[in-house]
Each structure stands twice: as structure tokens, then as C-alpha cells.
Amino acid sequence: MEWTIEHHVFLGKDFFTISTPVENGKHTMLAEYREYRTGGTWRVRDACDQGEECRSLINAFNSYIDRSTEANRSKIGHCGWMIDIGLPALDKAKFDLVNTMLAAYLKDHQGVN
């Protein structure tokens, strides 16, 4: 499965859109970084589901996959695609996606973890 990653900055906040083609369009997720005084967190979400805020981007993906698996268990409509194709493909690709996203993020934020 092909994934398209786009890095955006809006009002000084970093986020990524991660999308893949589906039958009549595309499925898009948002991975956003939030900076706090105590450190930053990542959250991965889409129009239906969202994971927990995590200090680790890979943990944010894992949280999204876990919650989305539960939320899409009905397998009705788009939920069937998520359970059968989307989430397994995301689970397989998450390490490559995270590497690509963090490389882009760190390129713009030298020295920020």
C-alpha cells in the first residue's frame, strides 16, 4: 500500500497528513505535534478515531491503531476496509512512516526530539 506524507506548519504548530488511496478517494490521518513546557507529545487521528497523546510518535501510531481497531469492529462500510486492509497495512508501514516523518520534522527543528 502506498502512503503519502505531507509536513505542514500552521500558526507555528507542526503536523503531518498521511494518506492512502481507497476505492472512491483516499483515507487521511493527521499526526500532530504539541509542544508543552515539560516536553512534546504526538497524537494520530482521523475523522472517526484518535489515539492518545504520546511522547513517542510510534506509540501514538500504536494507540491510534488500537483504538481504531476497536471503533471499526462493526466492519460496516469504510470500517470493513479499515479492519481488513487499512489498519494492517498501517501497522506494517508505521516504522517507515515514523522514520520519514521524524526526518522531515528534525530537518526543520535541529536539536528538537
The grid coordinates of residue 58 equal 510510534
* Rounded-to-integer distance, Cα 79 and Cα 101, Å: 26
Whether 11 shows a pLDDT value over 90: the answer reads no
What residue segments make up the domains of the chain, in order of their start? Answer: 4-108
Cβ–Cβ < 8 Å for 33, 41: yes
Q: Please tell me the pTM assigned to this model.
A: 0.89
Write out pLDDT tens, residues 12-71.
Answer: 888 999 999 998 889 999 999 998 888 899 999 998 889 999 999 999 999 999 999 999
